[in-house]
Structure 1
Amino acid sequence: IVEGNSAAPAMRSIRGGSFLCSDEHCSGFRVSARMPVAPTSSSNHTGFRCVKNSKNSKY
């Protein structure tokens, strides 16, 4: 890494799981995993998900 190199984007870290893979096949997507990615990268199977109980829920 060269400090002050504005042509190269700084890497970011993604963490957590993926709903795409099972535990047996994608250990890189386990909850404690961290992976370097470019800030402009995206994927349809990583990210955060919000959960809310419905009004009719027993819990």
Structure 2
Amino acid sequence: RDWGADGTTMAWCCTEGERAYVGDRRVIDSLADELTEIVGETVFVELRRRLQP
């Protein structure tokens, strides 16, 4: 969604910046504890299985 006034758009979480997609760990790994807390162990395990490279 556009969050700016008068039709101005805003990039979500700085996704337009070059560093938005850089990291040495996958998000599923770096935020494992947080994701498990949000979705539960069963869903997290299945999500991780489906996202295996």
TM-score by length of 2: 0.18
TM-score by length of 1: 0.18
Name the structure where strand makes up a greater proportion of residues: 1
Name the structure where helix makes up a greater proportion of residues: 2
